[in-house]
Amino acid sequence: MALSTRPCAFRQCRQPCRALCLFCTQYLCREHFDNHDHSINAQIPTLVKQIKTLINQLDDSLNPISSSLKCLNQWRINAHRTVDRFYEEKYRQYQQIIERKTDEQKRQFDKMEIKLSELIRQQQATDEEINSMQQLIENMKFNIRNMKNLRLNINPLLIADNLVTIPNENYGIVDPNNHFVFENCEKFYTLDKSLSRWKVEKQAKEIPNSMSMFILQTIRQFIDTHGSSNMEIIMKKTKDLLNISYGEHWIVQIVDERENQYSEIDDFVECLRAKETQLKWIIRILKRNF
């Protein structure tokens, strides 16, 4: 009886209430209760559509993730190339040392054979000459023993775990009541301290982040190896490395930021420009425009 005396909650409706909505606690007449129930159910298809949209967005979000894996694979390829180049350089240097020492010993052997042949022919060897030859032989024995001990000192290759960082498991997904947010895949990388000295001012699409990091890390290593006074050597070695790694169509320019004078080159376009903040250098990477 109490319900029948309460008016319908719908505005301007004078009909007595016949039902109570347990979800919104409104007292409604029969007609408005039916309409209210229908309006609630009518929202379900919209929710289904929104969920499908989110599923599509989730699928689309896998594209930058896949791109990150490609970047990681490119990083691996570049790292292998760097190790191979380092190995080839050390192999060549070691081989040259061994060849020089071997050639030197062979020349000593040839001289001794000529001298001994001459002594045999003349049959007039003196004690002094014999002693001298014996001393040469002892010296050669000593040199050969030293050559056997001329071994490489090889240290294990240490790779810092933070060269590539993996985002937190909850990275990119916020509270379920809010939207899904996926950051750009390039943020999966963190720059080490040496790269924090760089400020990238321009980066064309031909230069992915993995390649940009590889170039700047390489230049940083060349600076540490050859010193900042050897700018020409650093440019040449960087260019040679790019030509070996990515094809022979690159030019590297390094200028002092305070002078900021670099020349434009026909048929080449600027793909990367970065500033070394401590040395006040500007580095330009140009690629042939085919």
Q: Is residue 290 part of a domain?
A: yes
What is the predicted pLDDT for the residue at 62? Answer: 64
User: To the nearest whole percent, how much of the chain has pLDDT over 90?
Assistant: 0
**What predicted TM-score, i.e. pTM, was given to this entire model?**
0.40
Domain that holds residue 216: 193-290
Residue type, 57: Q
pLDDT in tens, 56-114: 777 666 665 566 777 788 888 888 888 898 899 889 988 998 888 888 888 888 888 88
Residue 140 included in any domain: no
270 three-class SS: strand
| Whether the Cβ atoms of residue 167 and residue 188 lie closer than 8 Å to each other | yes
Write the CA distances from 7 to 1, 27, 33, 42, 123, integer angstroms: 12, 8, 13, 26, 143
**Helical spans, DSSP H, in the chain:** 30-122, 127-148, 209-226, 231-246
Query: Does 45 fall in a domain?
Result: no
pLDDT, tens digit, for every residue of 198-233? 888 888 887 887 788 888 888 888 888 888 888 899
* Residue 162 binned pLDDT confidence (cut-offs 50, 70, 90): low
Is residue 65, in this structure, part of any structural domain at all?
no
Q: CATH number, domain at 253?
A: 3.30.740.10
Residue 18: closest CA among 40, 39, 38, 1 = 1
- Is 247 contained in some domain? yes
